[in-house]
Amino acid sequence: MNVVILAAGMGKRMRSDLPKVLHPLAGRPLLAHVVGTARSLAPGRIVIVYGHGGETVPRTIGGDDLRWALQEPQLGTGHAVVQALPHLDPAAPTLVLYGDVPLITSETLARLLAVAGADRLGLLTVELADPSGYGRIVRDGTRIVRVVEHKDADDATRAIREVNTGILVAPTAALARWLGALSNDNAQKEYYLTDVVAAAVHDGMEVASAQPADACETLGVNSKAQLAALERIFQGRLAGQLMDQGVQLADPSRLDVRGELNCGRDVTIDVNCVFEGRVELGDGASIGANCVIRDTRIGAGAQVLPFTLIEQSSIGARARIGPYARLRPGTELGEETHVGNFVEMKNTQMAAKSKANHLSYLGDTVVGERVNIGAGTITCNYDGANKYRTVIEDDAFIGSDTQLVAPVRVGRGATLGAGTTLTRDAPEHKLTMSRTQQTTVESWERPAKKPARKP
């Protein structure tokens, strides 16, 4: 089978410099969703017809299995498929999809392919309560005889509720013949792909039809409002799948998955959480409200409290993170670790049962087991040109308001007094601190405000 994906349109109503098919849905370009569905059908060839946006489209989508055909100028859907013909296997049927119709499913396409077989023209149709703007399916009894575009239809034809989605499959040799005979004698002065239906009927070829499980599969994107509407449909699908798997969602309408989310048993997710890239949540993990988690693995029983941002990190079992914590790429937390409010970590490994509960920054740091890091602690890992590591060994205690100037090591069981600026290694099991001697100035008086001058 050949698959042709039409992706050349400008999308004027998007009011954007970004090509329409590259606008994101659930974190991926619209076209990427359609390509993924096409690949699931295991076709022999996938050809994408591009135009508006030029090389930006193939550069963004990529893929060695994809072939590209430029449509310039853009003279309609029929003209677009003509550009793909040199790339097609004439002995295999051709399925035509659209780069701005991202919700179409492989199950629906499989039904269409089945009814079309190898020698029929297959159309995907749908009945709409308001079919305005769509091409109408005109039948003679049960037999499809033609498709009439809305702008070219009379009142009787516009009353028809069954519409053409544009998605079709046809024997490639016949499709090429029909496309060669297309005319642009219509209101838009374009070459309509839908005119091949009348050509097939004229040739005596049977026109079969199939319908999607849900009409939303056929919805296209022509404006930012439509894009937002499809986003909610897509997210609603995902939320339903997650709940079917046993995930407890506080509000299915307030969830955004922009990638892949894999959950164990008894996972709970509060409202307004965003998951990007590949995220794994272990059994019994709980995610508080308003969290953003990207490319991260979270272990069983871990708690992520509200307003926490986690990127490219690994969280151990029964860890507790947040609220208002930020874990940057390269952070690895062991079992039963605690990272509290307004703590930021980057490229830091913290072993089991260690904790940094308040107002700290740990960058390029290795923290051993059972370490306590006091409020206001920072590792000074960057000298303006290079970055250095800090090592804090097992059972160390770091007092509040401590600065560790890397590269530096805190030995096993060492204690750093509050307010210390550590510039040399601290020995094991010793108290290390750096402070000026506390003094009291007996003669000092608090300044008084001067009386205001009279005018």
* pLDDT value, residue 450: 83
454 pLDDT exceeds 90?
no
Separation of CA 8 from chain center: 23
Q: What is the pLDDT of residues 308-359, one digit of tens each?
A: 999 999 999 999 999 999 999 999 999 999 999 999 999 999 999 999 999 9
152 pLDDT exceeds 80?
yes
Catalytic residues: 358
* pLDDT value, residue 186: 78
437 pLDDT exceeds 90?
no
Angle at 220 between CA 29 and CA 109, to 5 degrees: 85
Q: In this prediction, what percent of the chain has a pLDDT beyond 70? A: 100
Higher pLDDT, 180 or 449: 180
pLDDT band at residue 432 under the 50/70/90 scheme:
very high
- How many C-beta atoms lie closer than 10 Å to residue 11's C-beta? 22
* pLDDT value, residue 367: 98
Angle at 103 between CA 174 and CA 52, to 5 degrees: 70
448 pLDDT exceeds 90?
no
Q: For residue 176, which amino acid is it?
A: A
Task: Classify burial at 385, counting beta carbons within 10 Å of its beta carbon; exposed 0-12, middle 13-18, buried 19 or more.
Answer: exposed
425 pLDDT exceeds 80?
yes
* pLDDT value, residue 133: 86
375 pLDDT exceeds 90?
yes
Average pLDDT on 270-297 reads 98
* pLDDT value, residue 449: 84
Contact 101, 220 (CB under 8 A): yes
* Tokens at 455, concatenated: 């005018």
194 pLDDT exceeds 90?
no
* pLDDT value, residue 308: 98
* pLDDT value, residue 393: 98
Between 171-185, 240-254, 334-348, 363-377, the lowest mean confidence (pLDDT) is in 171-185
Paired residues of 311 in beta bridges: 294
Task: Classify burial at 37, counting beta carbons within 10 Å of its beta carbon; exposed 0-12, middle 13-18, buried 19 or more.
Answer: buried
pLDDT band at residue 12 under the 50/70/90 scheme:
confident
125 pLDDT exceeds 90?
yes
* Mean residue pLDDT across the chain: 95
Average pLDDT on 81-106 reads 97
385 pLDDT exceeds 80?
yes
435 pLDDT exceeds 90?
no
Q: Which residues of 221-257 are buried (b: 16+ CB within 10 A; e: fewer)?
A: bbeeeebeebbeebbebbbeebeeeebebeebebbbb
